[in-house]
Amino acid sequence: MAQALADTGLERRRHYVVVLDELWQALRVGHGMAQRIDVLTRLNRREGIGQIMIFHTMKDLDSLSNEEDRAIARGFVERAGMVMCGALSRSEMVRLTSVVDFSQTEQDLLVSWNDAPPWTLDQFGGEAPPPPGRGRFLIKVGGRPGIPIEVKLTSFELGLANSNRRWTEASRIGAR
C-alpha cells in the first residue's frame, strides 16, 4: 500500500528490507518451498524491497529433498548482488566456489577464521578466548576483491546476542 501511495505522490517513497534468517528451516518445510522463495527474490526488487537471506553453509541448500529445489536454492546465491561469508571449512569452499568466484587468498582467509582456539587457557587468564572467526566476514560483490570486516558488538548487544550464555554461565558456576 505504501508503494501505491508513493506512486501517486501521496506519500514519500520508502524502501524496505526483508530478512530471511535461518533460511534453511523454511526451505526444509517441504518440496516447493524453494520455488515460493524464488518468486519473492524475483518480485521484491520491482516492489522496492531488498532482501537478506541468511543460512549457515551451502550444505544447507544441498540438503533439500530433491534436485529441483536444490538447483533453485543454489540460484539464490548465484544471483545475489552481494555475498557475505564468515568462517568456513575447506570442504565448504569447494561448494561455494562452484557458484561464487573467490580467489585462493580469500578462500584461505575464510578457512583460517575456522581454526580452533589454543589448547591452553593460561594466556587468557583462565577465560576461553573468542573463536578466531567471531565477528569476521568477507563481503563479495560480483567479481571484485572481497572486503574483510570485523563486527564489534557493544556490551548491550553482546548481552542480547550471546548464544553461548548458558555455556559460559555453567563454567562460571562450576568454577566456584
Domain residues of the chain, as ranges?
A: 1-80, 82-176
Task: Give the tens place of pLDDT for each residue, 72-97.
Answer: 998 888 888 899 999 999 999 998 99
Neighbours of 75 (CB within 10 A): 15
Q: What is the pTM of this model?
A: 0.76
Neighbours of 55 (CB within 10 A): 19
Question: Chunked in runs of 10, what are the mean pLDDT values of the chain (176 residues)?
Answer: 91 91 88 88 83 89 88 89 92 90 95 79 64 88 93 82 67 53
Question: CA 97 → CA 48, 78, 83, distances in Å?
Answer: 30, 10, 12
